Structure 1
Amino acid sequence: MPFARLATATTPTCHIGLGLAAVGRPGYINLGRDGDLGEDRSVEALRTRTHELLDAAYAQGVRYFDVARSYGRSEEFLAQWLAANPGADDVVVGSKWGYTYTADWSTDAERHEVKDHTAATYERQRAETDALLGDRLDLYQIHSLTPDSPALTDKELHARLAEAAAGGLTIGFSTSGPRQADTVRAALAVTVDGEPLFRTVQSTYNILEHSAAPALAEAHDAGLTVIVKEGMANGRLAGPNAPEALRSIAAEEGLGCDAVALAWILRRPWVGVVLSGAATLTQLSSNLHAPAVDLDADRMTRLATLTEEPRAYWERRAQLPWH
């Protein structure tokens, strides 16, 4: 698996990846976005910002980059950076299919993305991804599986994904919603010719919402690489939005709330990669301090008070505006 390259990395940031959801398109649901991006959200402005983030991340040891068909021009921006940095051949690239970006570079579109997990969408988006990333693509994931997704039972789709795996592509899936654990377990049961189809799982997991933890540990034990997304809860655990318990520990450490929040995730032995969703160089630098955070038993107990009921968490997330 390509993720073996991360397991053997020697840098302290080897288990932190960079996701480009926040900078591959002008609109997203992260809090504080106006201050992060400012008014200029042209294609060129976000291309430049993305390349600066990729430069800084690579220089500091980050080796996994995460994009998706629905993240605006994220695949395009990453492909251009890879072409300009031929020495970065140790980078692991993951993308996702299953959502189509429909906002047409607008922050106030009626719909920003449309979900479709059919085999036809896979074929179309796989061709689109191949046109941009070609043989630099290592991992291709089904985007945001839920228990009712047809992708869990579509045998034709499974056969096509298995064919891609036989050609050297790692096949994975991501999850969303309050029933992530159910989704993970259902996906672990998917096989083709008696062999497990999926080799990675990417799930939302953070201080506020960690109900998927047992299922993710099971996935790790089954041999899957676990990737954690939304470790900052779309900005709810960052800076002025962070709850008091998190802010007090960050102050004690002399580091950002984001570093503490990501450190909490990195303590899990089953976590392979946790994604930084940084939109600025300052945020990225702060995120990368996570391995230095000391979370003793007392601090872990204080953070445990922040847990939210999964349905309440996801209902609040659904209410976050695109901006």
Structure 2
Amino acid sequence: MATFKTLPTRSLGRNGPLVPRVGLGLMGASGIYGTITPENARFELLDDAYNRGERFWDTSSSYGDSEEILGKWFAANPEKRKDIFLATKFGIRHTDTFPGFTVSSTPEYCRESIESSLSLLGLSSIDLFYIHRLDRVTPIEKTMEVMVELKNAGKIKYIGLSECSAESLRRAYAVHPITCVQMEYSLLCTEVESPERKFLETARELGVAVVCYSPLANGLLTGGLRLIADVDSLGNRRSVLPWLQEAVLEKNIEILNQISEIAKLRNITTAQLALAWLLAQGDDIFPIPGSSKIQRHEENLGSLFVDLSEEEEKELRQLGEEVVGGRFQETTGYAFADTPALEE
């Protein structure tokens, strides 16, 4: 079994720390997409990630018991804490009604959340703290004031945002430099590049890195979806994805199969091809694929050693653009979120 003790790193943002180009997303391991992985299996998952040099770990207060599991792992491996660049988030509370969550980015909830996260993690500080979603009610400046307060108190080291608009990013940055923004970005979802959104160009102007969640398009780019019958294997939460709706499913599977055939010709997996495509978009792009399966670690990290030609990148982009269906996040009301102006 191949291992990668030293992975390629880049600066997370213009003045940020060096982190591996591919991070470890921990959402799926806590049952957000289905069955919760047993505790001992998750410890093994973290052990394997560490041993492979996968040291950029991403969780959230909304990822089930993820912070609690990490806290237990750090307690059992205190000497390894210094090697992990740990990110967590606040702002989302899960509910049983559509869209499945509520959002709060108030100063009060920010303070409450950091104390809860630190307690569960058993840590005195977190490397990167994200505002997971903007509630569209609290001016971003108010939330940022508390984030800076937490940084000055030594409870967090770097500040991040998620699913914000270009304008919200610019306003937040005016209060304090933002290290990175977590956005949905994949071969099938390139809205961050949209000239109308002006998001990626704004992030690059400010020197803010883009951390890509759902870099494998909620599992569609793992190569496991070859037939309509395969959709059931993706889990109940993925049934809401516009890409998988009956009217467009057959066409989309045909395109996904073409992408998989390109990977087969390269003797790599579809996931490695999709992640390599993201990495080719720039050194400021950091995918964070997640899995509850150890064998996926080696596969995902292998993408770091796949080089795409300009022609391959363009061919894949064209195929991705042919897939029909918008983002699920657009239906929630919190995608590319703006906030009210700060009253004087």
Query: How would you bin the TM-score normalised by the shorter chain?
Result: 0.7 to 0.9
**What TM-score does the superposition give when structure 1 sets the normalisation length?**
0.78
Paired residue for 2:236? Answer: none
Q: Does 1:53 align with 2:66?
A: no
Equivalent residue number for residue 229 of structure 2: none
**Which string of whole-angstrom CA distances, capped at 9 and with x for unpartnered residues, describes residues 228-271 of structure 1?**
11100101111232702310121012221111111111112243
The aligned counterpart of 1:215 is: 199
Tell me what 2:115 maps to: 127
Per the alignment, residue 313 of structure 1 pairs with 326
1:289 CA displacement: 0.8
Aligned twin of 1:106:
none
1:196-223 Cα shifts (integer Å, max 9, x gaps): 3532211111001112136234314413
Q: Match for residue 269 of structure 1?
A: 282
Distance in 2, Cα, partners of 1:264 & 1:144: 26
Distance 1:20 1:258 in 2: 17
* Alpha-carbon distance in structure 2 between the residues aligned to 1:127 and 1:258: 36
Give 1:70-81 correspondences, 5 Å limit. 70-81=62-73
* 1:87-136 Cα distance to aligned partner (Å, 9 max, x none): 32121110010012446xxxxx8875332222222222122112123224
Query: Which residue pairs with 2:249 in the alignment?
Result: none
Match of 2:148 among 135, 139, 162: 162
- Alpha carbons of structure 1 residues 157 and 94: separation in structure 2 relative to 1, 3 Å: same
Distance 1:90 1:136, change over 3 A: farther
Aligned residues of 1:72 and 1:101 also touching (Cα < 8 A): no
% identical equivalent positions:
26
Secondary structure of the corresponding residue to residue 251 of structure 1: helix
Separation of aligned partners in 1, 2:320 and 2:58: 27
More off after superposition, 298-307 vs 84-93? 298-307
Which residue of 100, 106, 109 corresponds with 1:118? 106
SS in 2 for 1:79: helix
1:189 is aligned to 2:180: no
Q: TM-score, normalised by structure 2?
A: 0.73
Shift of residue 154, structure 1, vs aligned partner: 4.7
CA change 1:303–1:154 in 2 (3 A) is closer
Query: Are residues 143 and 195 of structure 1, via their aligned partners in 2, closer, same or farther at CA, if it must alter by over 3 Å?
Result: closer
Distance 1:203 1:96 in 2: 13
1:22 aligned partner, one-letter code: G
Quote the offset at 1:185 in angstroms: 3.5
Alpha-carbon separation, structure 2, partners of 1:161 and 1:5: 17
Q: Show structure 1 runs of 5+ residues with no match.
A: 104-108
Deviation (angstroms), 1:81: 1.2
Residue 70 of structure 1 aligns to a residue whose secondary structure is coil
Q: How many Å apart are 1:27 and its aligned residue?
A: 3.7
8 Å CA contact 1:276–1:284 kept in 2: the answer is: no
Q: Residue in 1 aligned with 2:91?
A: 98
Q: Is the 8 A contact 2:22 2:304 kept in 1?
A: no
Runs of 4+ off more than 4 Å: 2-6, 109-112, 308-311, 315-319
2:219 to 235, 255, 259: 235
1:159-197 CA deviation, whole Å, 9 max, x = no partner? 21221122342111111xxxx6xx134222225xx5435
Residue 22 of structure 1, aligned match among 24, 28, 36: 28
* Runs of 5+ consecutive residues of structure 2 not aligned to the other structure: 1-10, 226-252, 333-344
Cα distance, 1:318 vs structure 2:
5.9
Q: 1:256-312 CA deviation, whole Å, 9 max, x = no partner?
A: 111111111111224352202122112222111101223112322221223349993
Q: Which amino acid aligns with 1:124?
A: E
Local SS of the residue matching 2:263: helix
Distance 2:140 2:268 in 1: 47
Q: Given the alignment of the two structures, is residue 245 of structure 1 paired with residue 250 of structure 2, yes or no?
A: no
**How many residues align structurally?**
283
The equivalent residue for 1:150 is: 137
